[in-house]
Amino acid sequence: MSLRSLGVALHCRCIQTESRRIGSLIEKIELIRPNSHCDETEIIATLKKTGEQVCLDPKAPWLKRVIAAIMSNTKP
Amino acid sequence: MSLRSLGVALHCRCIQTESRRIGSLIEKIELIRPNSHCDETEIIATLKKTGEQVCLDPKAPWLKRVIAAIMSNTKP
């Protein structure tokens, strides 16, 4: 579990990012801009079967393809 | 408020989408793939100041630019 406890939202939620290409496992992606709690962009995916939340690297090329696929409603 | 009540998550959350370009007001964007609750891709933005949730059109060109800006951590 690479997310800090959600109970205390006074800092970034992501400690490390998942490097494996998990596009097909993803049900939802949250793109979170830097804000008062965290000064970094955070990308958090929610997985289909488990509902687990996983942090992703905003610069990962495969993530850009997954987002484009979601936006155009096609399989990645 | 263009979201159905979150209490009953048995169908799509979006009824209509916001057409104005509100990129600079957005703190977070959720990209939700079609799933057992809803057979459409849904894009839901959370606004900075109010925390209001607003549905966006996945095909809106300005949205693609906002997402790219968030991913590259630059202002839209």
pLDDT average, residue stretch A3-23: 77
Q: Is the minimum CB–CB distance between B65 and chain A shorter than 8 Å?
A: no
Q: What is the model's pLDDT at position B1?
A: 44
Q: Which domains does chain A have, with CATH numbers?
A: 1-76 (2.40.50.40)
Q: What is the DSSP string of chain A?
A: --B--TT--SS-SBSS-B-S--GGGEEEEEEE---SS-SS-EEEEEETTT--EEEE-TT-HHHHHHHHHHHTT---
Q: Are A64 and A44 in contact (CB under 8 A)?
A: no
Tokens 């393809």 locate to A65
Q: What is the model's pLDDT at position A1?
A: 44
Average pLDDT, chain A: 87
**Residue of A33, A59, A63 with shortest CB distance to B28:** A33
The residue of chain B nearest to residue A32, with distances taken between CA atoms, is B28
Strand partners, A31: A43, B29
Helix (H, G, I), strand (E, B) or coil at B41: coil
Q: How far apart are CA A76 and CA A45, in angstroms?
A: 15
Chain B closest-CA separation from residue A28 CA (Å)? 4
ipTM of the complex model: 0.83
**Count of CB atoms within 10 A of residue B8's CB?**
8
Helix (H, G, I), strand (E, B) or coil at B27: strand
- Tens digit of pLDDT for each residue in B11-65? 899 999 998 999 999 999 999 999 988 989 999 999 999 999 999 999 999 999 9
